[in-house]
């Protein structure tokens, strides 16, 4: 198919990582390609100093500790809003380095504490390992809020792509387990529904970066079984959740030529119907991951909207 992609994005298509997921060999190649993103995406030097430290937090029961990276504004004197950040990568790719420039910029612009999670990846570690790692990290952040300089009343969760789906799942777990109280959830281009039956998922088989064949591989790896079965947990695929009431306010983004588009829109609609305050932003001419082209006007709008959403959702002042 041909797509009316934003003209500012078109020149970059050949420079973005080509992700084709068909088997384990292709996954290893895609992981290597994603690791090279640091050579494509510009780094970021925060104006005020940001303290960055790596540590490990207690993992789920009978599981390894979970590596996390903590970003804190240097010289803070009062408790700040906190954000648990969950990286994307289709449940099968990504690590703490993948989105470091983005997180440094968030800390610089917003003056918040960010804790990024290096959860275990599928298919080596299928559901529930990734989401349980993320929930363990959230529990640690809440328990260590004073030590981390976080105001526990202003703690949110955020992620993009698979990280957006995992963020939605963590919000469901926190509600259902009576866990840490979240004030906000940012669901960027989220991967939410293993049933793969929306119009955008059926149609977009050859879109840049992410497409239906990749989504099939992603969900098969994450579930350890064929997607779309009758007994998939809502903590794996949040679109399966029957009840979305009582969840924290949400901000959901979608891209036009993205197979995940319609499941993000549907989830935002269901949140609204359940009485959850939710905003939905849809960006024309974009595709999954197109925000990596930071110079494009639409990418600048996307980042400005993210900043504004986090500022309001986390109660950032000043």
Q: Which of these is catalytic: 95, 193, 258, 262? A: 258
* 266-307 pLDDT, tens digit each: 999 999 999 999 999 999 999 999 999 999 999 999 999 999
Q: What is the pLDDT of residue 39?
A: 67
Q: What is the pLDDT of residue 15?
A: 83
* 35-70 pLDDT, tens digit each: 776 666 677 888 889 999 999 999 999 999 999 999
| Dist CA 106 CA 110 (whole Å) | 6
Q: DSSP code of 254?
A: E
Does the predicted model carry a pTM greater than 0.95? yes
CB 115 within 8 A of CB 124: no
Region at 89 (left for phi over 0; alpha for psi -120 to 50; beta for the rest):
left
Q: What is the pLDDT of residue 41?
A: 65
To the query of whether residue 288 is one of the catalytic residues in this protein, the response is yes
> Which residue stretches of the chain are H helix?
24-35, 100-110, 129-143, 145-148, 162-176, 199-203, 212-223, 261-273, 297-313
| Nearest one of 94, 281, 250 to 172, comparing CA atoms | 250
Q: DSSP code of 114?
A: E
DSSP for 221-236, please give it: HHHTS-TT-TT--TTT
Q: Which of these is catalytic: 72, 116, 139, 161? A: 161
Q: Which of these is catalytic: 200, 288, 290, 299? A: 288
Q: Which two tokens stand for residue 132?
A: 């349980």
| Nearest one of 187, 175, 185 to 243, comparing CA atoms | 175
To the query of whether residue 161 is one of the catalytic residues in this protein, the response is yes
Helix (H) or strand (E) segment spanning residue 278: strand 278-287
């Amino acid at each position: 198919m041909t797509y009316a992609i934003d003209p500012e994005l078109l020149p970059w298509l050949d420079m973005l990582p080509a992700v084709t997921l068909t088997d384990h060999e292709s996954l290893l190649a895609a992981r290597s390609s994603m690791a090279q993103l640091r050579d494509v995406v510009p780094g970021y030097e925060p104006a005020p100093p940001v303290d960055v430290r790596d540590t490990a937090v207690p993992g789920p029961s009978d599981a390894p500790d979970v590596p996390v990276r903590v970003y804190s504004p240097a010289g803070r004197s009062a408790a700040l809003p906190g954000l648990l950040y969950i990286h994307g990568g289709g449940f099968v790719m990504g690590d703490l380095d993948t989105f470091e420039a983005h997180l440094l910029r968030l800390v610089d612009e917003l003056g918040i504490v960010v804790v990024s999670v290096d959860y275990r990846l599928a298919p080596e570690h299928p559901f529930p390992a990734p989401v349980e790692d993320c929930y363990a990290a959230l529990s640690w952040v809440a328990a260590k809020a004073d030590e981390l300089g976080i105001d526990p009343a202003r703690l949110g969760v955020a992620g993009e792509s698979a990280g957006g789906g995992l963020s939605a799942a963590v919000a469901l777990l926190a509600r259902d387990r009576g866990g840490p109280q979240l004030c906000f959830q940012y669901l960027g281009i989220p991967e939410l529904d293993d049933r793969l039956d929306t119009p955008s998922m059926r149609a977009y088989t050859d879109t840049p970066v992410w497409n239906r064949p990749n989504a099939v591989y992603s969900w098969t790896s994450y579930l350890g079984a064929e997607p779309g079965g009758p007994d998939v947990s809502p903590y794996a695929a949040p679109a399966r959740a029957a009840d979305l009431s009582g969840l924290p306010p949400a901000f959901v983004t979608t891209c036009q030529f993205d197979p995940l588009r319609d499941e993000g829109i549907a989830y935002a609609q269901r949140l609204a119907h359940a009485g959850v305050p939710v905003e939905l932003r849809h960006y024309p001419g974009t595709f999954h991951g197109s925000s990596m082209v930071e110079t494009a006007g639409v990418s600048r709008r996307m980042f400005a909207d993210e900043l504004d959403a986090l500022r309001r959702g986390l109660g950032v002042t000043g």
